Structure 1
Amino acid sequence: MANNRALQDTLHRIDGQGYGTYREIRGTHQFEDFRLSVDKVQVDPYAPPSLMRVILEPGVVGLPAELIDDAAGRTAVSDFLTRRFAEAIGDHARSAAEAGKDSAGKGSAVSIGTPGQQVLERTSVLIAEDRIEARIAVELPASGRRIRGRQAARILTDQLPQIVDAALKHKNLDAGALAEHVRLYRDQQSLREQLGTAGLVGFVGAGAILPRRSGDSDAPLKQGAVPFIAPDSLRVSFDLPSGLSVTGMGVPEGVTVIVGGGYHGKSTLLRALERGVYSHVAGDGREWVIAREATSTIRAEDGRAVTGVDISAFISGLPSGADTRSFSSENASGSTSQAANLVEALEAGSTALLIDEDTSATNFMIRDERMRRLIADEREPITPFIDRVRPLWTQQGVSTVLVAGGSGAFFDVADQVIALDEYVPKDVTQAAGEIARSDAATGGDTDAASDAADVESAGQELIFSHDRRPRVPASTALAERGKTKPATARGRSVIQYGRERVDLAAVAQLVDAAQTQAIAHAMDRLAETFDGESSLAKAVTALLARIDDDGVDALSPHRGHPGHLARPRAQEIHAAVNRYRHLQLAGGGHR
């Protein structure tokens, strides 16, 4: 592929000049079979990289029509091309290092993002009817604050065309691997859509590898991992669009309790279901661990801000007199934060909850019989989750999957109990039920779980269906004082919103920094649309509808290159807004 002589000449001419002279290359440059649009040039060597788009005609790329004739196919192909582009960048960086041409020792100046184990809808590669775009970032080289124009010319007019040729043209790709990538993603999405009809909240395929390599790695454990075996009583099969049939364990709707000894795989199974809201690449081990999209992990989160959340189903009659029908706190406790997290998940449309006792507030989860005898119920403001988990299902249709390693209290209210024994699951529902019935018959300590069943059968007040007004953000809900720049992500866990840092470290199903950047932009878009009349849920739903119509690009404040973004779920957008410490609700946040 021929380089662009005019761009090369310009970069040679400005070699050694002040860094700001790089602005001369802004605009569109025509190469032999693609255009390079330089949309934003960094202002100095220490600023964020320059943003550029490689634009090709569909005929030049040559993608088979059957791979991109639906949204799932386009998402999968975009993901594949992004990964191939990143690999090609790495190949060229290694070649340059071996040839001694990478004098700075920094690796490649070109980047396109770093996809992880999940296949997400991204902005990195756009597949449209009239063009294919690769959105890249380029660190334009400098010596101090002087332009290294000749090195920049090698990057943009020599290396980049080679990367484009290797990564974006179908004739140079592994066609079989691309087709398989699309097939797998389409099948995974189909299975996820079938879960509701099958009465399941999740599915774990036989042979799945659930353990990860380490606590800070999402890659699969290669040695010593026990392949997943589905219990016969929970075994289900699905037929998929490709003709493939997969078999594994179905996790039914209702209340599922996962038990077992320490280090036998309880939390590992729950974490796999947690990430099952996303599809995974081949070789991840969790390709067939699939959860409903509207599944939320719930945990305690000491110190988070809470604004106007109705947690009265769990906490009421506080000694301070605070109205828990519209609870606010700058520094929520373990129990109040977990109650708020749960109610906010329902507000975001979640239909299944994942809860691990290890990350929960004990007094939020259970209150045993001895404590009830010592402290009368009317003196305890917390109604524990064990008393509410059944009404969540019977009144709201919200399922719960709960890991319990230290208490059998939830046996009384469970629809199914799964025990992990050396990483092998067993259906112990019958045995757990017999234990619960035996304790009830002998007056044993049942942690008052039977009281929860009595509450439900007695037809008490509809705990989750009484008249609750949705939270309505004020028109100034996200009006941060002194905010002059767009919100931005600081890695996966933090959004810088004006002077305020929104901490998302406890939002467990946020998996990619590109998602966090998309959420930062989503907060800015919501700030523009809040009118003091529409609920938060309605505003987020409308924003997601824009993404459905226009892609993740719709979140970006920039023309041309939108930045490297990945589609977030409604749950994570809600989570970010809810953790903004200066959030304002219409009417001051009160009922």
Structure 2
Amino acid sequence: MKELKKQLERIDGKGYKAYKDIKGHYNFNDFTLAIDYVQGDPFASPSRIRIIVPRTKTIVEREWFESSVRRVRTEDWIAREVGGAIKKTEKHAKGTGKSGLLFIDQPGQKVIERAAVNLTEEVITICLSIGLPAQGRKVLGRQALDLLLHRIPDVMKKSVFALNKDLIVKALFLADQQEAIRDYLTENGYVSFVANGAILPRESGVSDRPMQQKAVQFESPESMEVSLKIPHRSEPLAGMAVKEGITLIVGGGYHGKSTLLHAMEHGVYDHISGDGREYVLTNHHAMKIRSEDGRQVTGVDISPFINNLPYGKDTRSFTSENASGSTSQAANIIEALEAGADTLLIDEDTSATNFMIRDYRMQQLVAKEKEPITPFIDRVKQLSTERHISTVLVMGGSGDYFEVADQVILMENYRPYDVTQKAKEIAQESGRQKEGGETFGDARKRVPERSSLNSQKGKKSKVTARGLHQIQYGHTEVSFLQVEQLVDSSQTRFAADVLHFLERNHTLGNKSIPELLDFIDERINSEGLGSFSLFQDQHPGDIARIRRTEMAAILNRIRTLKIK
């Protein structure tokens, strides 16, 4: 601490590059400060530091990180506490550019494994970003001294050293309960659970927070209700359990169909207490599917859905720089299955109509041999019976799916009703012909070539995440705006790190896409998120775990992707 003070006093008033001299480790009374990266100027990306706290100096107990679920929840809680303390100690920053900035990658409504806090048996490591103060391009040593020697210890005092045991235990109990519900879904053949009393609507289209007023609490249809005995709760938790198979969500416009599906698609993540969706859980490998006009598709076998295209274009290894609505949706499904998705979540509002349905009258007018598209309705049952792939589908405009549905939920004034029996009775009147053939078909193995990734831009490597839905990779812009279950820009930064790691280590060329995804998951589990970073033994950056399905979606949208 004294050494850092001495250094800051020495460089006060010097050129900004003098800050490079303070890189290193400094011992404080209760923690070690590691200054890992110093920004090049006041306007550049912030400097990165770590606060390393011996666990025994805090109230953090071993049982709080005895499982990966509990460890992630404890790290998440600490990150929220540090973020809150940063806000409480905020001061008006003097200086140029990012001078005085202090920031942690703070979580939102969802609990996602991230690098902001790392908890081990020995230490708690907190990763922060700071803007080292300057006036113009001259060091403001006194302000830097105040930031590093006073404000940061104050933040630690108000967060890591002031943790509320009762509140942490409450958060851990919720984590245990969410894990128990997920286990119940897997063991009993369900894909999703929506608890009675859940608040599904959000306060706005750009907010993940719950609607505060006039929100209708969810209430399960009696025929679909289950009561779960979960840890740390005396009374069973009741709610709607959605069975594996094919589930339709129907109803009039503005009655809550898409709201229910939206809650289910976000149920792949755990939510914090008070969110309204803390007991809305969906199996981890469920993926939202939609059409995506204009996307890149490379070497995907879409022949189960698309065949006999004009000019003899091969759909067993389909490539397009500008896929249509139907071909993009077909590719999205095949890629999701390749990535390990076992539940498809589909909304008619974001689907290609000609991909989803081909009704009796159209069959009479346009012969099958003249129609290259085999609609999803003729494949959904095969996916269920042959591949054990479940589908949850919002469909308000066509009753043809009644014939293939295992259960039908009617949404009326935001309340669900089980209308499966009535839908089946109506379905008997249809004269539609099935066009899907006997089987869905086998999956084709895809192996990305090593040359798919090239981060060089001029003489330097350029890999930059831009917000939630774009990565600049060398000369290539990778855009994935329609990947809807990507929810945090820290996940995008991590995806960029993963791609760069795969290129640097020559990982591409021999592994199929599922094998690549297995490799990524195994490395995260054994070595952590930071093991993909160029700064893996330091502050690795503001990164958060991405699901394998979204990682595959990003890889598949790289326009330089080449498949063996």
TM-score normalised by length of structure 1: 0.92
What residue in structure 1 maps to residue 479 of structure 2?
503
1:480–1:461 CA distance, 2 compared to 1 (3 A): farther
Unaligned runs of 5+ in 2: none
Residues 487-502 of structure 1 correspond to what in structure 2 (within 5 A)?
Answer: 487-502=463-478
Aligned match of 2:449: 474
Structure 1 counterpart of 2:101, from 109, 112, 120: 109
Structure 1 SS opposite 2:373: coil
> Is the contact between residue 490 and residue 543 of structure 2 (CA under 8 Å) also seen in structure 1?
yes
Offset from partner CA, 1:270-294 (integer Å, 9 cap, x none):
0000000000000100001100000
Paired residue for 1:451, among 420, 426, 434? 434
1:29 counterpart residue number: 26
What is aligned with 1:355? 346
In structure 2, the CA distance between the partners of 1:104 and 1:239, relative to structure 1 (3 Å rule), is farther
| Aligned with 1:545 (options 502, 522, 530) | 522
Query: By how many angstroms is 1:242 displaced?
Result: 2.8
Alignment of 1:572 with 2:550, yes or no, is: yes
Aligned to 1:430: 421
Q: Measure, in 2, the Cα distance between the counterparts of 1:487 and 1:37.
A: 25
How far apart in 2 are the matches of 1:27 and 1:533?
40
Give the aligned partner of residue 229 of structure 1: 219
1:311 aligns with 2:302: yes
1:80 correspondence with 2:77: yes
Give distance in 1, aligned partners of 2:176 and 2:351: 35
Match of 1:193 in 2: 183
> How far 1:476 sits from its partner (Å)?
1.9
Question: 1:475-532 CA distances to partner (integer Å, 9 max, x unpaired)?
Answer: 2222355373352211111111112111121110001011111111111222334342
Q: 2:16 aligns with which of 9, 19, 27?
A: 19
Cα displacement (A) at 1:539? 1.2
C-alpha distance 486-187 of structure 1, shift in aligned 2 (>3 A): farther
Q: Structure 1 residues 523 and 21, CA, compared in 2 at 3 Å: closer, same or farther? A: same
Match of 2:539 in 1: 561
Q: Comparing 182-191 with 197-206, which one deviates more in the overlay?
A: 182-191
Figure out how many residues of one structure are paired with residues of the other and give that number: 560
Alignment partners' CA distance in 2, 1:529 and 1:195: 39
Cα deviation, 1:127-151, whole Å, max 9, x if unaligned, reads 0122110011101111111111111
Q: CA deviation at 1:174?
A: 2.0
Matches within 5 A, 1:157-196: 157-169=149-161, 172-196=162-186
Structure 2 counterpart of 1:265, from 250, 256, 262: 256
User: TM-score, normalized by length of structure 2?
Assistant: 0.96
Q: Structure 1 residue 421 and structure 2 residue 418: aligned?
A: no
CA drift of 1:103 comes to 7.3
Q: What SS does the aligned partner of 1:251 have?
A: strand
Show the counterpart of 1:207. Answer: 197
Contact 1:493 1:505 in 2 (8 A): yes
User: For residues 479 and 228 of structure 2, what CA distance do their matches in structure 1 show?
Assistant: 39
**In the alignment, is the contact (CA less than 8 A) between 2:98 and 2:131 conserved in 1?**
no
Provide the secondary structure at the position in 1 that maps to 2:219: coil
Displacement of 1:113: 1.1
8 Å Cα contact 1:480-1:582 kept in structure 2: no
Is it true that 1:47 corresponds to 2:26 in the alignment? no
For the residues of structure 1 that align with 2:300 and 2:97, how far apart are their CA atoms? Answer: 52
Match of 2:207 in 1: 217
Query: Equivalent residue for 1:581?
Result: 559
Offset at 1:9? 2.7
Q: Residue 224 and residue 504 in structure 1: after superposition, are their counterparts in 2 closer, same or farther (change >3 A)?
A: same
- The CA deviation at 1:566 is 0.7
Post-superposition CA distance 1:320-360 (Å, at most 9, x none): 21100000000111110000000000000000000000000
Provide the C-alpha distance between the structure 2 equivalents of 1:564 and 1:481, rounded to a whole number of angstroms. 23
The answer to whether the Cα contact below 8 Å between 2:301 and 2:444 also exists between their aligned partners in 1 is: no
Residue in 2 that maps onto 1:60: 57
Counterpart residue number, 1:589: none
**Cα distance in structure 1, aligned partners of 2:527 and 2:456:** 31
User: Per-residue CA shift, 1:349-385, capped at 9, x if unaligned?
Assistant: 0000000000000011001222211111101000000
User: Which residue does 2:124 correspond to in 1?
Assistant: 132
1:282-322 alpha-carbon deviations (Å, 9 max, x no partner): 01000011000000000001111000000000000001211
Q: Give the match's secondary structure for 2:30.
A: coil
1:105, distance to aligned residue in structure 2 (A):
11
Query: What letter matches 1:132 in structure 2?
Result: I
- 2:96 and 2:134 in contact (8 A); partners too: no
1:32-74: CA deviation from partner (whole Å, max 9, x where unpaired): 1111000000011111100100001111123122212221111
Cα deviation, 1:219-256, whole Å, max 9, x if unaligned, reads: 00000100000110000122223345321000111000
Give the whole-Å Cα distance in 2 for the aligned partners of 1:90 and 1:17: 30
Q: CA deviation at 1:186?
A: 2.1
SS of residue in 2 equivalent to 1:257: strand
> Which residue number corresponds to residue 248 of structure 1?
239
4+ residue segments displaced more than 4 Å: 101-108
Q: Match for 1:463: what amino acid?
A: F
Q: What's 1:335 paired with? A: 326
Amino acid at match of 1:579: R
Q: Is the 8 A contact 1:529 1:539 kept in 2?
A: no
Encode CA deviations 1:404-425: one digit per residue, 9 max, x unaligned: 1111111111000000100000
Q: For 2:327 and 2:142, how far apart are their aligned partners in 1?
A: 60
The one-letter code matched in structure 1 to 2:539 is: H
More displaced, 202-211 or 176-185? 176-185
Q: What amino acid does structure 2 have at the position aligned with 1:418?
A: I
Aligned equivalent of 1:382, options 370, 373, 383 = 373
Q: Is the 8 A contact 1:299 1:360 kept in 2?
A: yes
Q: Does the 8 Å contact 1:90/1:108 carry over to 2?
A: no
Q: Name the Cα RMSD after superposition.
A: 1.7
Compute the displacement of 1:16 (Å): 1.6
Q: Secondary structure at the match of 1:45?
A: coil
